Amino acid sequence: MRCLALNASFEPLTMVPMRRALRLVIDGKAEIIEADSHEVIRSASLSLPRPAIIRLVKFVHVPRRFRRQVTNTFLFARDDYRCQFCHRTQAELRQRECLTRDHLVPISRGGGNEWTNVVTACSSCNTRKGNRLPEECGMLPLHPPTEPHFVHLAWSVRRLTAIQQKYIRVFYGRGTLEALGGR
Ligand SMILES: [Zn+2]
């Protein structure tokens, strides 16, 4: 079981292995916010309730680019596995088509790989758009791309306990948790 680590601001940061969570608490770098009341961890010198959620004592500035790298897994999830140009979902694609990453402002024209410049596109739309800007070809994405603030948690959400889910819900809202597959 893993422990959900919150920043000092209570923003959920990441899941950490239990051993590391305990080390942070014992070193005074984190406090236990919620613990498993039935589980106690004992060592030679102390006993602690097993933490479910810890909060860092000092605010840690996490550079955005480390926290929220664009991967296709998260990009497709953000866009609901739907081509942002023809609106077809992955299931509706024909054989030999696949979902791809499209850069609204093409890299060759100075576009970057940040969340606000990439959208999910089927391979056909991606090819059709080619090297053009959305305005030049009239291909505007279904949703203007934004940076999702929760994707770094997505990989672990199905393993969150109820109490850990509560903190994500409080911080990001119920919709986010539902989008991640939690309750
Ligand atoms: Zn398409």
Over the stretch 123-136, which tens digit does the pLDDT of each residue have?
999 999 999 999 99
180 CA distance to ligand 1 middle (Å): 24
Residue 183 confidence class, pLDDT cut points 50, 70, 90 = very low
Neighbours of ion ligand 1 (CB under 5 A): 83, 85-86, 122, 125
Choose among 62, 12, 54, 15: nearest CA to 177: 12
Q: DSSP labels for the chain?
A: -EEEEE-TT--EEEEEEHHHHHHHHHTTSEEEEEEEEEEEEE-SS-EEEEEEEEEESS-----HHHHS---HHHHHHHTTTB-TTT--BGGGPPTT--EEEEESS-GGGT---SGGGEEEEEHHHHHHHTT--HHHHT---SS-----SSHHHHTTGGG--HHHHHHHHHHH-HHHHHHTT--
pLDDT in tens, 94-152: 999 999 999 999 999 999 998 899 999 999 999 999 999 999 999 999 999 988 766 55
Mean pLDDT of 170-178: 70
Predicted TM-score (pTM) above 0.75: no
| Cα–Cα–Cα angle for 53, 59, 64, rounded to 5 degrees | 95
Cα 83 to ligand 1 centroid, rounded to whole Å: 5
The alpha carbon of 181 and the centre of ligand 1 are apart by a number of angstroms equal to 25
pLDDT, tens only, 35-56 = 987 778 787 777 888 899 999 9
Tokens of 3: 């422990």
Alpha-carbon distance of 42 to 37, in angstroms, equals 14
